Amino acid sequence: MDLANTLSTISIAAIPVVFAITVHEVAHGWVARHFGDRTAEAQGRLTLNPVRHIDPIGTVLVPAVLLLLNSGFLFGWARPVPVDPRNMRSPRANMVWVSAAGPGANLGMAVIWAFLMMLAQRVELGTAGQWLEAMAGYGIAINVMLAVFNMLPIPPLDGGQVLTNLLPKGPLSRFLEQIAPFGLFIVLGLMVSKVLWPLIVGPIDFLISLLAGVFGLQ
């Protein structure tokens, strides 16, 4: 990939990637505050200012490298928004919603990007329209990927947290809590062994096709 194409790709993908990651984290904090935990608010993290959430590696380096390598799989992470379940009225039940809020926010943003892509395809905007359409395509893809990826039932991913708090206290929930510190290594192992993509490509393709059908995208 030459320099011109690299800069073009970054200009198109940067906004969708940064906001997909930061809004995901802020959503956790917003819902936690609703249930009584104001930890994120007290630390100034309930803001859409991406600077407050950027992780140099997860928000910048990893997505950039994946883009430059044409990996076909794009993901990253922001600095996690702090959440303290002890401040919530019903910690286990409330944490289900707090954990699901991030992927839910990504699906909401995918819908917004799909609407913008529809406008770009139907309204004559010239070069600006082509740029917006390309950006919206990245926006749809990254948000759907993040939503599906984060809902894998592996703690500390959001899906793992949802499952842990939905299960009654017992051997299985304790097992999930015990493997949480090693969850990142499990995910990396799935990626390196090329098992991860076959697990998530079906739901990703289904959701993207659903959005394309609803909004009449070409």
The residues annotated as belonging to the active site are 25
Provide the sign of the torsion angle of the four alpha carbons 141, 147, 148, 149, taken in this order.
positive
Q: In 3D, which of 73, 207, 195 has the Cα closest to residue 142?
A: 73
**Tokens 């930061």 sit on residue:** 22
Distance of alpha carbon 95 from alpha carbon 173, whole angstroms: 14
Structure tokens at 6: 């690299």
Task: Compute how many other C-beta atoms are within 10 angstroms of the C-beta atom of residue 46.
Answer: 17
- Here the tokens at position 171 are 């051997």
DSSP characters over 20-45: HHHHHHHHHHHHHHHTT--HHHHTT-
CB atoms within 10 A of CB 111: 15
